[in-house]
Amino acid sequence: MESSSLPLLEVPEASEIRDWATEQGILILAHSYQEGFLQEAAHFVGDSLELARKASETQLDSICFCGVHFMAETANILCPNAEVFVPDLDAGCSLADSCKVEDLIRYQDHLEVKLGRRPTSIAYVNCTAAVKAAVDVICTSGNARAVVDSIPENEPILFVPDMHLGGWLNEVTGREMILWNGACEVHELFSVDTLLELQEKNPGAITMSHPECPKRIRDASDCVLGTAGMLRLVKESRGKTFIVGTEGNMIYRFEKEAPQNTYIPAPGASCACNLCPYMQLNTPEKLWKCLHDRGPRVEVPSQFRRGAMASLGRMLETT
């Protein structure tokens, strides 16, 4: 196919988009919470940690990031010579929005006075580049436990912005980290009553929940895993039924990579779908347009680059 002959208004097949991007020297990355078409169009699909690593390793100078804004910022920090563009600039994240850098710095200062020493600050990767620059180390759901374990036991820790992930980490590591009170608006809305009903109707089903879920959901689950951990478990399993306590599009990936099992989405409080409204802003049409426009671009302001690189670098060295 001639690269110049593709009509812009008609969106080609996912595989044609990927081939066209390859010809143009563009790497398409997609988070597993993206709709199936976008996952098929991507050169690489992964969790936050895998995508950060892919971005840091690429030799290409253009990355199209199908995910949310903080992920594209992370790619731009880890791969500063590449242009990073996204299908929709408004694809944000309730966790990132819950932690403004000015509030964080004020709180760190307050804790320093109160504790007589500045706590080590760990930020879940779901935060802005400005917040990444203001903390000591980043973690993702895939490596959070190892990152917390890497901090000496006597050091006080401030964990931002996800109180549920932080609460789970306190449970499994025995630490008493001070927690920010942010939450993911998708994982927070799972209904425990409907989950229990679903478990009763499906005896033998294994319930997996993401650590962004509140304690009541985690406690009703058989295992608490990040998206990469969930994928590993379903690939190792045969003929099992899984109730999936994370964003609904994850099931597309499970059905593709581990079709030998059955997957049931955990129910939300008000709807059964549990789709992230920010991830859903990215569509095949916007992907196709953004590949042609090489925009909208995501560029981290220069004042945050060095600090954010340091905290991300510390994470990549630790795990």
Q: Whole-number minimum distance, CB 244 to ligand 13P, in Å?
A: 12
User: Helix, strand, or coil here: 60?
Assistant: coil
User: Shortest CA distance to 65 belongs to which of 44, 93, 80, 35?
Assistant: 44
The window from 88-96, 195-203, 215-223, 289-297 that contacts ligand SF4 (CB under 6 A) reads 88-96
The interface partner of residue 185, options being ligand 13P, ligand SF4, none and the CB cut-off 5 to 8 Å by kind, is ligand SF4
DSSP readout, 243-290? EEES-TTHHHHHHHH-TTSEEEEPPBSS-S----TTGGG--HHHHHHH
Closest separation in Å from C-beta 272 to ligand SF4: 16
Cα(178)–Cα(167) distance, rounded to whole angstroms? 9
Site for ligand 13P in 47-66 (CB under 6 A): 47-48
Binding-site size for ligand SF4 (CB under 6 A) equals: 14
The pattern of x and - marking residues 240 through 259 that bind ligand SF4 according to CB under 6 A reads -------x------------
Alpha-carbon dihedral 228, 173, 130, 298, rounded to 10 degrees:
0
Determine contact, residues 54/67, Cβ cutoff 8 Å.
Answer: no
For residue 265, what are its two tokens? Answer: 């989405």
Q: Tell whether residue 186 is a contact of ligand SF4 (CB under 6 A).
A: yes
29 binds ligand SF4 (CB under 6 A): no
Sole window of 58-66, 107-115, 137-145, 190-198 interacting with ligand 13P (rule: CB under 6 A): 137-145
Q: Are 35 and 280 in contact (CB under 8 A)?
A: yes
The interface partner of residue 16, options being ligand 13P, ligand SF4, none and the CB cut-off 5 to 8 Å by kind, is none
CB of 168 to ligand SF4, least distance (A): 14
Residue 141 near ligand 13P by CB under 6 A = yes
Contact 151, 145 (CB under 8 A): no
Within a 10 A sphere around the Cβ of 264, how many other Cβ atoms? 17
Residues contributing to the site for ligand SF4 (CB under 6 A): 33, 68, 93-95, 126, 184-186, 212, 247, 276, 278-279
Interface positions with ligand 13P (CB under 6 A): 47-48, 126, 140-142, 184, 212, 226-227
